[in-house]
Amino acid sequence: MLKPKNTLKRIVQNLDGFWDCEIKEENRPIAVPGSWNEQYQDLCYEEGPFTYKTTFYVPEELSQKHIRLYFAAVNTDCDVFLNGEKVGENHIGYLPFEVDVTGKVKPGENEFKVVVENRLKVGGFPSKVPDRGTHTVGFFGSFPPANFDFFPYGGIIRPVLIEFTDHARILDIWVDTSESEPEKKLGRVKVKVEVSEEALGQEMTIKLGEAEKKIKTFDRFVEEEFILENARFWSLEDPYLYPLKVELERDEYTLDIGIRTISWDEKKLYLNGKPVFLKGFGKHEEFPVLGQGTFYPLMIKDFNLLKWINANSFRTSHYPYSEEWLDLADRLGILVIDEAPHVGITRYHYNPETQKIAEDNIRRMIDRDKNHPSVIMWSVANEPESNHPDAEGFFKALYETAKEMDRTRPVVMVSMMDTPDERTRDVALKYFDIVCVNRYYGWYIYQGRIEEGLQALEKDIEELYARHRKPIFVTEFGADAIAGIHYDPPQMFSEEYQAELVEKTIRLLLKKDFVIGTHVWAFADFKTPQNVRRPILNYKGVFTRDRQPKLVAHVLRKLWSEV
Ligand code: GCB
């Protein structure tokens, strides 16, 4: 599915703004995109359902076009109504969905309604753990009882668009540059285009930079290969993008593509044939008042801080972010580990029905993000209960689903279960291309004892490598620090303690030639459900929630300038 885009032959209307919302028998204005939880204090812990309403206007000549409604993301369950008729539904957050409303849009005013609910469910996405009749149910007994450590925001969190195209149109585009030969500067760009039935027999033009091909569309799928001598490869130093344009008689779509290769062996990850070490963060798409609502200035700010601190990558923990994050990453040369909305997976998910939903989520994530050169890895889940015997089949299936969609990138699962303790060993990690682990030595274990924690980490990481013989990526480690709290000698929650733990962990892991990256948890402080470990926020941010640097930020900036 292609994201709606204004081109010479496509028209897009954006429905962002203030919608009406039926909340507790009142009609209140609500912002789209945005989460409801922080727009009204009394909605902080509400799960809905809430009815969002707006109207849009369509001129006569456009009402006859092919028309789709595109929701960049709604959290989480929703039913979509147009002029009183139910036209669509969706049941997963953080991923786009479209509703074909061709023939259903009236010339003039149209009434549009979306009923949204964000309920935590046992075995659902987002999930909670079953209430065992105790007072402590969620993650560390938290409220709301989310089975994960970030606030479960609800609402129409990303833009809603209406796109008008000709019926003879482009449906999807796939770009594959994996067979390019960087050492010879030879770019091999395979372009596959899917068109609608109505476009059969038309002439298609595909332009890549200066090169151009003209083809008759005898089939719904058209494939062409461009060979570029002296190609300019997309890299961290030079994130060069080639303009790709696909044209039909009355439709046109454009993409910026990067030519690059990714590969990996027993010890290393390679970008364009050269080893790359991942320096960066796990983060959240989250901000005061906005909740998880798309907000463009925040993206610019975060990328500017990633560059300032000399990071080269981040993980979209723990769900796919707005696609604009990837557009910027492509343009600015930042690598992305793209994660499915699979956090808090427990034994209650290990059944055929939920597995089907999870497979579908992975297909939808890869379908959306497949053409972004910045995306170098797919993560199918964060910290599932992957030491449960039923996890093995479940995650093997998710790995295979991701591979069916894309063989050119490594597929990973982020585990905390593959520990030195054999009784709690992960049963699924062995299927994945790179061993991704979250480790909190000196924080949750060896509290206040950084040196002992580091010794245990070293032993753990050596054993992991001996066991798997695959590259190791430490996807999380870190410590909470409340900005402004200082202590000598360094104590937990002080800026000094966080800075020391982070620096020493990275220096230790840099000595291991099988470690391909260290991502600090987290980029910035973020809001969580309430529990005794979280004074409103998780304070593991290297930056505060409003993006000011803590002591550790300066330490990282210097350290990463040398790596
Ligand atoms: C983790 C989770 C992350 C938490 C973090 C923490 O392992 O992946 O979502 O926020 O630990 O701070 O405890």
Place of tokens 């008689």: 249
Å from CA of 147 to ligand 1 middle: 11
Q: Are 179-260 and 264-562 in the same CATH fold?
A: no
Q: Distance between CA atoms of 127 and 29, rounded to whole angstroms?
A: 29
Q: Is 476 a catalytic residue?
A: yes
Indicate which residue of 383, 385, 495, 500 is catalytic: 383
The verdict on the CB of residue 498 being under 6 Å from ligand 1 is: no
The verdict on the CB of residue 383 being under 6 Å from ligand 1 is: yes
The verdict on the CB of residue 406 being under 6 Å from ligand 1 is: no
Beta bridge partners of 337: 315, 377
3-state SS record for 394-445 = HHHHHHHHHHHHCCCCCEEEEECCCCCCHHHCCCCHHHCCCEEEECCECCCE
Q: Distance between CA atoms of 55 and 110, rounded to whole angstroms?
A: 5
Report the nearest-CA residue for atom 9 of ligand 1: 149
The verdict on the CB of residue 474 being under 6 Å from ligand 1 is: no
Q: Enter the tokens of residue 64.
A: 């006859």
pLDDT of amino acid 131: 72
Å from CA of 149 to ligand 1 middle: 6
Confirm if 125 and 342 have CB atoms less than 8 A apart: yes
Residues in the chain: 563
Atom of ligand 1 at shortest distance to CA of 317?
A: 9
Atom of ligand 1 at shortest distance to CA of 148?
A: 9
End-to-end CA distance of the chain: 39
Q: Is 383 a catalytic residue?
A: yes
Q: Distance between CA atoms of 526 and 515, rounded to whole angstroms?
A: 28
Å from CA of 289 to ligand 1 middle: 22
pLDDT of amino acid 420: 83
Is the domain spanning 179-260 CATH 2.40.30.10? The answer is no
User: Which CATH number fits the domain 11-118+153-165, given the four candidates 2.60.40.420, 2.40.50.140, 2.60.120.260, 3.40.50.720?
Assistant: 2.60.120.260
Report the nearest-CA residue for atom 6 of ligand 1: 149
Confirm if 54 and 80 have CB atoms less than 8 A apart: no
Residues 6+ apart with CB under 8 A from 354: 123, 348
Å from CA of 537 to ligand 1 middle: 12
Indicate which residue of 38, 339, 385, 476 is catalytic: 476
The verdict on the CB of residue 75 being under 6 Å from ligand 1 is: no
The verdict on the CB of residue 540 being under 6 Å from ligand 1 is: yes
Q: Distance between CA atoms of 291 and 33, rounded to whole angstroms?
A: 10
Q: Distance between CA atoms of 515 and 279, rounded to whole angstroms?
A: 11
Q: What is the dihedral of CA 176, 178, 184, 188, to 10 degrees?
A: -20
pLDDT of amino acid 135: 52
Class of domain 264-562: alpha beta
Å from CA of 440 to ligand 1 middle: 9
The verdict on the CB of residue 416 being under 6 Å from ligand 1 is: yes
Å from CA of 333 to ligand 1 middle: 26
563 residues of the chain, pLDDT tens digit each: 999 999 999 999 999 999 999 998 999 999 999 999 999 999 999 999 999 999 999 999 999 999 999 999 999 999 999 999 999 999 999 999 999 999 999 999 999 999 999 999 999 999 997 776 555 545 567 899 999 999 999 999 999 999 999 999 999 999 999 999 999 999 999 999 999 999 999 999 999 999 999 999 999 999 999 999 999 999 999 999 999 999 999 999 999 999 999 999 999 999 999 999 999 999 999 999 999 999 999 999 999 999 999 999 999 999 999 999 999 999 999 999 999 999 999 999 999 999 999 999 999 999 999 999 999 999 999 999 999 999 999 999 999 999 999 999 999 999 998 888 888 899 999 999 999 999 999 999 999 999 999 999 999 999 999 999 999 999 999 999 999 999 999 999 999 999 999 999 999 999 999 999 999 999 999 999 999 999 999 999 999 999 999 999 999 999 999 98
Beta bridge partners of 165: 66
The verdict on the CB of residue 443 being under 6 Å from ligand 1 is: no
Q: Which of 147, 148, 149, 443 to mutate to test the pocket of ligand 1 (most atoms within 8 A of CB)?
A: 149
The verdict on the CB of residue 538 being under 6 Å from ligand 1 is: yes
| CA neighbor of 507 nearest in space, from 443, 447, 562, 444 | 562
Domain boundaries, the chain: 11-118+153-165, 179-260, 264-562
